[in-house]
């Protein structure tokens, strides 16, 4: 195996990492006749620059012969670390770069003594599923990626509005109720970015969403809270939004709303995991 050298990624690596990421996802999707998850090279470039420039997101690059051949990022802003994206240049002969990147991230999380690590894996990518399983990740939830537009109808007795910093404590409380931990740092980031929303019933917050699509997650006390949030979405960013496939009622609503499944994904975890006690939508991180 050719030696693979790992180092911390910098914003200056973003363009190269974005090009590799798009090429890797396009190659895989085309082989299986699925839509390309990043969408366009431009969107991938924007995503990589944004992530590497965000405090709390850590990245590694893998180098061979003084050139970058892959990268892996993880969100360290909460109790649980969310891994992704992970990509390796499809034009480079396999030398174990993907495994080396994952092992590097896991070593870092072990040293930081994080409670748990999670990721969302594309279901048709059997190679990544095998790698993550070998590294100790457990399959927790099948996910369905839905695309389309919702009817923009209101849900009785609920109000959806933009989230503010004053809502964080209530939102964190709902997340802890559903998952056993909060996503405080991530939530604050999206509130300041202007994409987060809350849903209220009887003047009490019963759910929130950091955004709608691959980068956003949502939690609610009931499915109706999530449905109210989804109905308020102007559009879904990326390939669509992820729904836990075991939530039969929410899946049924999605179909009745005219949404369609475009892909299947898998939530995998290492370390702390509590079976969710409520309604939730994961982001592409977890």
The CATH number of the domain holding residue 159 is: 3.40.630.30
User: Looking at residue 1, what is its pLDDT?
Assistant: 46
Both 110 and 190 in a single domain? no
* Domain co-membership, 89 together with 20: yes
Residue 141 lies in a domain: no
The pLDDT of residue 254? 97
Q: What is the pLDDT of residues 125-161, one digit of tens each?
A: 999 999 999 999 999 999 999 999 988 788 899 999 9
* 131 occurs within a structural domain: no
| Average pLDDT of the residues of the chain | 95
Q: For the CA atoms of the chain, what is the radius of gyration?
A: 19
| pLDDT for res 152 | 78
How many domains would you assign to the chain? 2
Domain with 78, as residue range(s), is 5-114
Domain annotation covers residue 126? no
The proportion of the chain whose per-residue pLDDT surpasses 90, expressed as a percent, equals 92
Kindly state whether residue 129 falls inside one of the protein's structural domains.
no
Q: Does 95 score more than 80 pLDDT?
A: no
Instruction: Check whether residue 107 and residue 213 sit in a common domain.
Output: no
Is 16 found in the same domain as 76?
A: yes
Q: Tell me, what's the pLDDT at 151?
A: 82
Whether the pLDDT of residue 2 is over 90: the answer is no
223, 250 Cβ separation under 8 angstroms: yes
Mean pLDDT for the stretch of residues 117-129: 96
Percent of the chain at pLDDT exceeding 70: 99
Q: Is the CB of residue 229 less than 8 Å from the CB of residue 209?
A: yes
Same domain, yes or no: 211 and 274: yes
So what's the pLDDT on residue 154?
81
On whether both 151 and 224 belong to a single domain, the answer is yes
Rounded Cα distance, 73 and 58, in Å: 6
Residues 169, 258, single domain; the answer is yes
Do residue 61 and residue 160 come from a single domain? no
Indicate if 110 and 171 belong to the same structural domain: no
Residue 48 pLDDT: 97
Tokens coding 31: 């082989």
Q: In DSSP terms, which residues pair with 146 in a beta bridge?
A: 241, 261
Can you name the residues that pair with 20 across neighbouring β-strands? none
| Residue 58: its H or E element | strand 57-64
Indicate whether 127 belongs to any domain: no
| Residue 52: pLDDT band with limits 50, 70, 90 | very high
| Residue 78 resides in a domain | yes
Over range 195-199, report the average pLDDT.
Answer: 98
In this predicted structure, the answer to whether residue 80 has a pLDDT above a threshold of 90 is yes
97 belongs to a structural domain: yes
């Amino acid at each position: 195996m050719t030696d693979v050298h790992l180092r911390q990624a910098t914003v200056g690596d973003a363009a190269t990492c974005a090009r590799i990421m798009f090429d890797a996802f396009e190659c895989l999707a085309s082989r299986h006749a699925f839509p390309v998850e990043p969408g366009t090279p431009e969107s991938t470039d924007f995503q990589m620059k944004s992530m590497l420039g965000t405090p709390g997101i850590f990245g590694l690059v893998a180098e061979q012969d003084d050139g970058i051949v892959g990268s892996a990022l993880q969100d360290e802003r909460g109790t649980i670390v969310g891994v992704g994206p992970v990509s390796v240049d499809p034009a480079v002969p396999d030398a174990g770069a993907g495994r080396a990147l994952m092992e590097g991230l896991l070593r870092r999380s072990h040293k930081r003594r994080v409670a748990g690590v999670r990721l969302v894996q594309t279901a048709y990518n059997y190679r990544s599923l095998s790698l993550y399983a070998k590294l100790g990740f457990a399959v927790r939830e099948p996910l369905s990626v839905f695309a389309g537009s919702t009817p923009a109808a209101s849900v009785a007795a609920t109000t959806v509005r933009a989230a503010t910093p004053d809502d964080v404590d209530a939102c964190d409380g709902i997340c802890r109720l559903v998952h056993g931990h909060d996503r405080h740092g991530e939530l604050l980031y999206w509130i300041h970015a202007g994409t987060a929303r809350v849903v209220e019933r009887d003047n009490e917050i019963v759910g929130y969403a950091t955004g709608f699509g691959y980068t956003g997650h949502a939690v609610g006390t009931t499915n109706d809270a999530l449905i109210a949030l989804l109905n308020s979405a102007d559009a879904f960013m990326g390939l669509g939004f992820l729904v836990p496939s075991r939530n039969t009622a929410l899946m049924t609503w999605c179909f009745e709303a005219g949404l369609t499944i475009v892909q299947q994904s898998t939530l995998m975890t290492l370390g702390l995991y509590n079976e969710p006690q409520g309604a939730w939508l994961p982001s592409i991180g977890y």
